[in-house]
Amino acid sequence: MIRALVFIVALMPGAATAQSVTEQYNDYPTAARADYVFACMVTNGQSREMLDRCACSIDEIAAILPYEQYLEAETVLSMRRVGGERMSFFNSAAMAENMVAELRRAQAEAEVVCF
Q: Please give the mean pLDDT across all residues of the chain.
A: 83
> Which pLDDT value is given to residue 9?
39
Let me know how many helices (H) and strands (E) the chain has, helices first. 7, 0
Task: Show Cβ contacts of residue 29 under 8 Å, excluding neighbours closer than 6 positions.
Answer: 67
pLDDT in tens, 68-90: 999 999 999 998 888 777 777 66
Q: Alpha carbon of 63 to those of 7, 50, 69: distances in Å?
A: 31, 20, 12
Which residues of the chain are under the pLDDT cut of 50?
A: 1-17
CA dist., res. 21 & res. 25, Å (int): 6
